[in-house]
Amino acid sequence: MELLNRPRRLRTTPEIRSMVRETRMSPSSLIQPLFAIEGENIKHEIPSLPGQYHWSPDRICEAVQECVDAGVDKVILFGLPAEKDEVGSGAWAENGIVQQAVRVIKKNFPNVTVITDVCMCEYTSHGHCGILCDHYVDNDKTLEVLAKTALSHAQAGADMVAPSDMMDGRVGAIRKILDDNGYINVPIMAYSAKYASAFYGPFRDAAGSAPSFGDRRSYQMDPHNVREAIYECELDVREGADLLMVKPALSYLDVIVKARQRFDLPIAAYSVSGEYAMIKAAAAAGLIDEYRIMCESALSIYRAGADILITYYAKELAEAMRKGDIG
């Protein structure tokens, strides 16, 4: 048969397939989430997130060393304080759990990029992401404490801050307080399109951050909306965000595509706890090939347009990229 066009020619060998790949990934684009917890000599596996751990500050460098050994040099920190209160004051405490973890990591791994999640839900007794007025989260009062929290993280040595609260105006408030205090070079990675998703369940268990009443739909985004996500991204750009984020990732690939088409800033995506836990559970039941599903899921996120991937599989994906299975 005389066929002029034979696309299979470029699929004949692994070397040719690798050469013509349209989507390319690198371990340098991966970020590993880490959970820091008050106490000493703690390394406890998180039941809802197999293979992930709570780390006390005196042991968290073990987790960082594992990342570095795997080729991952970027982490994002979440904190579990010993005590909580109505206003989440532990979030901006000079010796708060995240601040402790930042200091010890930067002391021992100065070349590791330490990003801090800036939110209130882990620190408030009610589990909501801000200051309450009756049962409603007061947006503008919350901006004050978010700004203080981001500043305290920068003072502890954080390389980047990542506000995840979804309050209106928080990027601008954080940018101002950082700049006013001389931290003009600390970037903000904004959780710009963060949806009120059912995929966060395992994380809320891991971080002890489930709300004690109601839900977060009055501040996190409605999963039905795409245009609103682009508007949220646009607002964050205007307020000084340096990177934009879509969260969750797999169920919101269309949002990543739209953000990539619209904005020139780096786009991050967070492959959240529910996505990870589902793969783990299906693999444990013998229903899927965990390694291949892990690779294919990550690939879909990059293919949609993400430049950066926050994932609990960061170490495993870095190895897969080095082996050439993806990348």
Measured distance CA(38)–CA(119) in Å, rounded: 17
Strand stretches in the chain, DSSP E: 30-37, 43-46, 49-55, 74-80, 113-118, 131-133, 136-138, 160-163, 189-194, 243-247, 267-271, 308-311
Residues 109 and 64: beta-carbon distance below 8 Å: yes
Nearest to 99 by CA among 114, 86, 120: 114
DSSP string, 284-300: HTTSS-HHHHHHHHHHH
Write the single-letter amino acid at 84.
Answer: K
Torsion of CA 182, 154, 107, 99, to 10 degrees: 150
Give per-residue burial for 8-17: e unless 16+ CB within 10 Å, then b. Answer: eeeeeeeeee
Kindly tell me the sign of the dihedral angle through the C-alpha atoms of 123, 66, 280, 247.
positive
Nearest to 271 by CA among 312, 232, 302, 230: 312
Nearest to 151 by CA among 186, 123, 106: 186
Write the single-letter amino acid at 306.
Answer: A
Residues marked as catalytic:
194, 247
Whole-number Cα distances in Å, 288 to 31, 50, 84, 278, 293: 25, 16, 40, 11, 7
What is the chain's alpha carbon radius of gyration, rounded to the nearest angstrom?
20
For 94, the token pair is: 């000079």
